[in-house]
Amino acid sequence: MAAAADAADAGPARPADDDGSGGSKAGSSKVKAFLRLVMIEHSVFALPFAYIAALTAMFQTDESVHWAELGLVTVAMVGMRTFAMACNRIIDREIDARNPRTAGRELVTGAVSVRTAWTGALVALAVFLGAAAALNPLCLALAPVAVVPMVVYPYGKRFTDYPHAILGLAQAIGPIGAWLAVTGAWSWDAVILGLAVGVWIGGFDLIFAAQDVEADRVEGVKSVPARFGVPAALHGARACHVVTTALLVWFGLATDAGVFFWVGLVIVAAAFGYEHTIVRPHDLSRLNRAFFTVNGFIGITLFVCALADLVVRGLTV
């Protein structure tokens, strides 16, 4: 909304992405607007579990951190997430324009043009594919598979009441890919962690979608809250997060995790409990706290504890 208000107060209209100053400053403005569009700072939510997978695989391989591989995993994760977010914003721009909550997004207000968004998305995709190629042949071969759910997810809300499951599948790929990046081989341990992440994010998306129920019903946008109501969605989210906790327990057992990992998991379980006390069917006012604060805390806490556990068990940093 603030972006729309700024545009209205800015005087004569200018082309999208043009700040009126020309040259390099205009180019810099385009980049900044694109980074706002894809919420680049939220990459922090995707990275912790990829790092847990990669570092656990390194520990099992030779008990040492391979910094070059970890760097490439970071580049691949940020590239893929940026591509996915840009596609999401591009595909949903007309729906966003009709939803009061999303009407201030950059593609709606004209702060970013569709052309610039597609350019940024394709650059991010190229970065992802380049990082996958630099890691190992299996990562490159499977990279197109990882792209599919990222593109399908925005369309999911048009044909299924369960687009949250598609988002969960997309998020599950991250830890699995990070493990493959290190070992070049399939691992069911990585699948367990990937499922935990996918169910976690899919469950939270049930909560997040609750704030758009009225607009979604008017526009025919499909989701669990729109189809079954907010209380049912919140119950589903709780069930998802119980399953997430169980999968993380399974991952800890499968990888012979030590005491620090289990301490982290206890903290995460408590955070899940807190998250579900502050979001209620008739009070979504603290939903952003649940998303930005609690989810960020969950990812970072488990990563720090898992890293400490691996170091204590012999991982050479």
- Band of residue 317 on the pLDDT scale cut at 50, 70, 90: confident
- Residue 279 reports pLDDT greater than 70: yes
Question: Stretch 164-177: mean pLDDT, rounded?
Answer: 95
Give the percent of the chain with pLDDT over 90.
77
CB 213 within 8 A of CB 100: no
More confidently predicted of 11 and 104? 104
Please identify which residue in the block is written with the tokens 């069930």: 239
Q: What is the pLDDT of residues 187-210, one digit of tens each?
A: 999 999 999 999 999 999 999 999
> Can you give the pLDDT at residue 13?
37
State how far the Cα of 295 lies from the Cα of 207, in Å rounded to an integer: 12
CB 58 within 8 A of CB 315: yes
In the three-class reduction of DSSP (H, G, I as helix; E, B as strand; rest coil), residue 97 is classed as: helix
CB 33 within 8 A of CB 17: yes
Q: What is the pLDDT of residues 7-66, one digit of tens each?
A: 333 333 344 444 444 556 666 788 888 888 888 777 777 799 999 999 999 999 999 999
CA-wise closest residue to 194 among 316, 46, 61, 85: 46
Q: Where in the chain are the domains?
A: 41-312
Q: What is the pLDDT of residues 215-260, one digit of tens each?
A: 999 999 999 999 999 999 999 999 999 999 999 999 999 999 999 9
> Can you give the pLDDT at residue 33?
85
State how far the Cα of 204 lies from the Cα of 135, in Å rounded to an integer: 31
Q: How confident is the prediction for the chain on average, in pLDDT? A: 89
> Can you give the pLDDT at residue 284?
80
Tell me the CATH number for domain 41-312.
1.10.357.140
CA-wise closest residue to 304 among 271, 267, 251: 267
CA-wise closest residue to 86 among 50, 113, 46: 113
CB 88 within 8 A of CB 105: no
